[in-house]
Amino acid sequence: MLARLPLILVACVPVLAQTPCEGTPAYSPCEMVFELSPADLAAQPNPYASAQLQAEFRSPHFKTYLMPAFWNGAGKMILRFTPTEAGPWTYRITSNLAGLDGKEAAFNAAASDAPGFVRPANIHHWATENKKPHLWMGYIADRFPFTSAPEFDQQLDQAAQNKFTHFRGSILGTAADRGRVFLGPDKPNPAYFDELDRRILTIHKRGLTADLILASNPDYVASLFPDWQSRERFIRYLVARYAPMNVTWQGFDEFEEYAGGRALLKELGLDLKKLDPYDHPRSSNAKVTSSPLLADGWMNFIIEASQDDVVGSVEHQFYQVPFVGVTDARHLWNTTMDGEYPEFHGDQPGLARYWFDFIADTRYWELEPYFDVDGTRAVALEDVEYLNYIEHPGPPVEISVERHGYDVIWFDPATGEMQEQKKYKGEHFTGEAPDKNRPWVLLVAREGRKESMLKSYKFDSREVPLVQEIETNPQKVPFTIVEPAGNTLKAGTPVRFAVKLTRETRATRAMLYLWTAEVASDGQGFRVIGTGSPGSFVIPPSVALHFPAVLAIHLSALNANGKAYAADRAYELDK
């Protein structure tokens, strides 16, 4: 547990002295408090901006963590640290405060059954540092730093009671919150951040991960921190306060319509990657998807906010990172079939709890979208279990499976009730929903096989990772872009698009098309502009900084078997 322990380290601290972190359980934060002398305060009149203090911690297995300290708003610097394993730790301080620079100390961390921080795993999934799968279900409470204490407690109680494992909120909020979070340039409000500490620590103690959005949008951050030095100071400050807790970093609410939004996120993201010694997961929220930012080298998972399942389904086959889908209760199961982990408002807690309990009983950390089905959407670990969602029941669903005996369960996602059916043996399952008037979930699984697999030490039972090679050879791509016609497009104006199949097969009977647009030379990243065919889209002016520009229209597609294709066409873009 974290406590404000009044340790004062000064020049007389002996080498390798013990510290208040002595006996701290692994994955619990502890604090060391450093008193600034009158001379220090005279030399550093604004310690937030100029005082430098950090410690290099070395673990029992010689892994190092470089942890910065933060100014507490009075006459103290606080060094907050979380040991990640039991045993003897040592650390060495470096500082521009002469009485502290070069000091060394040691402590022993106690053993703990805490699972550790969350990490990407198995390409599209999550694990904790104890090598156990992690089921991400996020509760959206973006204003939790600004609500009353009783309202925060009520939201967190609801999230914990209904099995949510993540709790999302914004650190800086919106431009209207500016005076509450910062009292002036380089002057964070100590009262605000002390209370935010308490709330994030409470989330940590409840066993949830705090998904921390930096701010609402790029313009707000650029106005609050007008140069890269002030932005890096702020990121260092956030890392010092919150990296020792269970957190992920989630950029902005959105970035697409803001000039320079991608560049600013790259700068901040690379700062987080450099400064966070625990390497917590990093991404950004978006109006549609944060995938345009992946190539910038700082993100390690994608967040999607589109309720169009084509976006999630297609992107899942193109990017080898985990996906989090911002959704709602109505789209919860479709988000799952897209291969995404959900994050949503907890306004229908029963549906969330039913989802969590059902998914937790599967090998969810190995399930991938599965296409050898008819009348259903599915994710599967082939040869083990096939999880299906039938949103609009109609004719019998058909599922190709490996030849084995299977348990068959129909699950009502609205009530949490399950109906076990007669066991099935074969390789082509056919079945009808118990009631065609509402959605159903169907699980066809080798439950005995699953139980035996849980006894194995292996986290991932797939021998070959599911990494698909995208087909881009025009001779093998079974479609061509026929519209937009001509060579020139106008930003902000509706444009018709269409695809023509050049090879009709059973696999091309159902194609998913995802349209994106990018002006590569201006570096704003691509934008998702449409799905399906035919239809119309609008090229957002924010895709370019200069006009006329060379615009690339990129079409990604999946056939009915899940095979991925891509095609491109170039246009001149005018305003």
Choose the final residue of a domain: 88, 109, 130.
109
- The answer to whether residue 469 sits within a structural domain is no
Task: Average the pLDDT over 33-41 and give the result.
Answer: 90
For residues 343 and 243, state if they share a domain: yes
Choose the final residue of a domain: 429, 459, 489.
459
Q: Would you tell me how many other CB atoms lie within 10 Å of the CB of residue 171? A: 22
The string of pLDDT tens digits covering residues 441-476 is: 999 999 888 877 777 656 777 765 566 789 999 999
pLDDT at 360: 97
* Domain span holding position 489: 479-574
Task: Average the pLDDT over 250-277 and give the result.
Answer: 97
Choose the final residue of a domain: 299, 325, 360.
360
Query: How far apart are the C-alpha atoms of 231 and 228, rounded to whole Å?
Result: 5
For residues 172 and 319, state if they share a domain: yes
pLDDT at 464: 56
Instruction: State residue 228 phi and psi, 5-degree precision.
Output: -65, -30
Q: Which two three-digit tokens encode residue 530?
A: 């449409």
Q: What confidence category does residue 386 fall into, taking pLDDT thresholds of 50, 70 and 90?
A: very high
Closest CA to 133 of 469, 467, 450, 562: 450
Q: Is the pLDDT of residue 561 over 70?
A: yes
For residues 369 and 391, state if they share a domain: yes
Q: How many separate domains does the chain show?
A: 4
- The answer to whether residue 507 sits within a structural domain is yes
> Would you call the peptide bond into 534 cis, given omega within 30 degrees of 0 as the criterion?
yes
pLDDT at 451: 78
Query: How far apart are the C-alpha atoms of 450 and 447, rounded to whole Å?
Result: 5
Q: What is the mean pLDDT of the chain?
A: 93
- The answer to whether residue 341 sits within a structural domain is yes
The string of pLDDT tens digits covering residues 171-217 is: 999 999 999 999 999 999 999 999 999 999 999 999 999 999 999 99
Query: How far apart are the C-alpha atoms of 68 and 410, rounded to whole Å?
Result: 52
For residues 270 and 375, state if they share a domain: no
End-to-end CA gap in the chain: 57
For residues 307 and 189, state if they share a domain: yes
For residues 372 and 356, state if they share a domain: no
For residues 203 and 340, state if they share a domain: yes
Q: Is the pLDDT of residue 12 over 70?
A: no
The CATH number that applies at residue 379 is 2.60.40
The string of pLDDT tens digits covering residues 53-78 is: 999 999 999 999 999 999 998 889 99
Q: Which two three-digit tokens encode residue 524?
A: 């704003």
DSSP code for 471:
B
Q: Would you tell me how many other CB atoms lie within 10 Å of the CB of residue 509? A: 10
Pairing of strands 527-531, 512-518: antiparallel
For residues 163 and 259, state if they share a domain: yes
The CATH number that applies at residue 184 is 3.20.20.80
Q: Is the pLDDT of residue 16 over 90?
A: no
- The answer to whether residue 483 sits within a structural domain is yes
Q: Would you tell me how many other CB atoms lie within 10 Å of the CB of residue 124? A: 24
Whether 552 contacts 563, CB under 8 Å: no
Query: How far apart are the C-alpha atoms of 537 and 89, rounded to whole Å?
Result: 58
The string of pLDDT tens digits covering residues 482-541 is: 999 999 999 999 999 999 999 999 999 899 999 999 999 999 999 999 999 999 999 999
- The reported pTM is 0.94
DSSP code for 470:
P
Query: How far apart are the C-alpha atoms of 520 and 86, rounded to whole Å?
Result: 49
- The answer to whether residue 97 sits within a structural domain is yes
- The answer to whether residue 30 sits within a structural domain is yes
Closest CA to 377 of 291, 438, 313, 327: 313
Task: Average the pLDDT over 260-268 and give the result.
Answer: 97
